[in-house]
Chain A
């Protein structure tokens, strides 16, 4: 009831704010959902379910309320702050998901430099194109981008160099970027414990996921400076052909030292590295096709047992839009395998599965839209055996959402 009150009153309060006041822009959105789910106990409630809402969290509830601010200093310096309230067990009442400044000078030729500093998402997702890093095609993003939202955030700087070919009359635009960051050394831990998941619950900068060590998913914080706090990096490249194709590729390595445990840290450092690539194809104004792939490994020396897990996922999404209607179907496949374990650790943590998502969205007007989404995840997660549950699960979730946008 309290969440519903927040959902109703906060947008009303926001309506009193200037939507655009000079070079300050505010926006806000709220999603209220009616959920039907047979999901295993959710990772947000100490379980190893791969959905956000389990069978104990059905019915009408607040999905999120979010606020965005975009400001400007000296014309070429822009600030973006994204705040969200999930009002669930693992979040603060209001927390940040991104906060960064971007220096973006006017191009005086086909080459343009950009510099981002702060906390923000690496350029991996081709789905999450709406303010607040939300998927434009469904409520719940793919397993890949769900994980990016859960465990990855760049706390540092990213430099991008763009070649603006279209401004020269060419059909291509190219970009290359490099980032240096730190304090994201817990990335990989949730994936190892709970496996892959599909939901729209992003981790917040100061929130946590998981609880006491007696629970299946340990206490984890996104902003974690563990041990030696080494600087990590990623390199990325983008190619765009008109508005028809966008290709992205990225190599990520947080360079965490798994041995560098510190009492001051919340968690053991997890050394995570991966490669990702994605293609978005827009053959017409009605159709969009997206495919992404991500594969890598994460290693930890937690409790002085050095172990590694290889993980991989890919998805194919097709979306059709006609006027205010959008229909999307997506197939996800995912795997996680513990590499040969130490002799004394006979148990192997693995996750194998696939998922189907079918989503329909309809815009009633510029402020209100509705969405209906069906999601089924079939997975085999061996760590469920440790909490007395079968490893295999077929989890289904049906969501009807009322989405408000200011």
Chain B
């Protein structure tokens, strides 16, 4: 039976993980772009990303692009597994109550 994940279940973190899972495994997304896409503030996105990073679910990569500092975020393998498990658990809840 799949397990719900306390860290991912929080609505903002669920959105963040859903967006990151949409990318290929070898892709990472720009912090500013993700913030605009999810309509979050810098502080809000940063705080939730820290939680996800502490859990090992996302990787935050600070680098320079055209001499400007940029932050890129990607989902880790552990994060992808946890997200898949969480979604499977949500589906099981719906199915169990329907059945």
Q: Verify that A and B bind, or say they do not.
A: no
By a beta-carbon cutoff of 8 Å, the part of chain A in contact with chain B is none
